[in-house]
Each structure stands twice: as C-alpha cells, then as structure tokens.
Amino acid sequence: MKKKCERSSVSSIGFYKLFWVFMVGCVIGVAIEVFFSFVTTGRIVNPQGVIYGPFNPVYGFGVVFLTLLLYPVFNKQWYIIFILSMVVGGGFEFLISYLQQFSTGTVSWQYQQLPLNLYGRTSLIFSFYWGVLGFLWIKKIDPSISMVIAKPPKKMGLIITWILIVFMIFNLTISLLAVDRWEQRINNIPANGAVGVFLDKTYPNSVLEKIYPEMTHLGHT
C-alpha cells in the first residue's frame, strides 16, 4: 500500500496550479526577503521585481521549477530533496542574474563579497537557503496551498486567474522595458520612438530608483 503522503506525478500538475504556485512564490519570496534583511541587517528592503505590486518573479519562477523538479522525489530522504533544491535554486539564481544583465544591463543582486560565490551571481550560502526553501516548499507549504488551489469556484476561479495572467504579463513586460530604457538613459542614449518617450515620461530615473533601490547598472553582457 502506498503511503498517504505520496504525491501525484508531475503530469498531474496543470497550468492552473502552476500559475498560482508562481503567484504565491512571488509574494512569499518578497515577504521572506524583507523579514530576512530586517533580522540580519536591521534594514527594510524593497525586493519587488516588477513595477506594480509586491511581486518578485525570480521567486515565483524559482518555486515553479522547484515544484516540477521535486515532485518526483517527494518521498525520497530529506537530504536528497535538500541537495536538489540547492542545485536547482543556485543554478536558477545564476541563470536569472545573467539573463537580467544580458537583457537590461542591470543586476538585482551581487555576491562578490561572499565566500564561494560563482561570478557574484550565486553563492554557496544562498544555495543553502534555496535548499531549505525547496524542502519546506515541497514538503510543507505546497501540500497546504494545493488543497486550496484544487477547489476554486470553477467559473470565478478561471476569471480571476486570467485577469491576473494578463496583469502579470503586462507587469513583467513594462518592467523590463522601463529598466532597459533606464539603462539607456544612463548611457545617454536618446529615446527611440513613441515607446521610448512614454517610458521616459512615465518611468523616469527617480521613480525606478525608488522601486529598485538595490539594482546595479553594469552594462549588457
């Protein structure tokens, strides 16, 4: 007889659930980073990754990858889940840092000051945190929220989901465009067309500096 705690296969995870896993990860990640920073440094940081709302897609997509990759090993020993979470989380953090610099010329975190860092994009200590997060997520948090996600009011749940999908696509797109234009302004590149003029007027440097106080401009890779 199979254990009651055994999870279903990855094939049973649908788009609906993954989207809500993404949204929950975006919010929980921001909350954890604010709490961690306050406890360790006494500072209140603003770790949001998009212009509108307390969302950080790095955590959202990270949790989605953890969910997909850790489901098959849900019933394995804790250290296997922990190590896989470290590898997946650290690798994902490195990849996102590189893609952010490649696309916008900026980075949102730098770990050069930490020992055992990989080009400043990830480090052993933060991979350790990803390991803890992955284990807690797949064993404790995800089973709880899955019970809620699995039973939404069908029509209303779908309507809310699609409204949020459209909102987040817009949010991610405008945030990337605004940050890329911010980098262009720093390099004295004039606005090119109506979109550039709109971005300069709506999202000037002073606005983006408040939204992304930790962001560093390094130039495109």
Domain ranges across the chain? 10-217
Query: Averaged over 148-156, what is the pLDDT?
Result: 72
- pLDDT, tens only, 83-127: 999 999 999 999 999 999 999 999 999 999 999 999 999 999 999
- Whole-number pLDDT of residue 164: 97
Phi/psi of residue 215, each to 5°? -75, 140
Residues linked to residue 217 through DSSP beta bridges, in sequence order: 106
Q: Which segments of the chain are extended strands (E)?
A: 106-107, 117-118, 122-123, 216-217
Q: Considering only residues 202 and 12, tell me which one the structure prediction assigns the higher pLDDT.
A: 202
Cα–Cα distances (Å) from 142 to 27, 41, 115, 221, in that order, read: 14, 29, 32, 36
Measure the CA–CA gap between 179 and 106, rounded to whole angstroms: 8
User: What is the model's pTM?
Assistant: 0.86
- Whole-number pLDDT of residue 124: 96
CB 88 within 8 A of CB 82: no
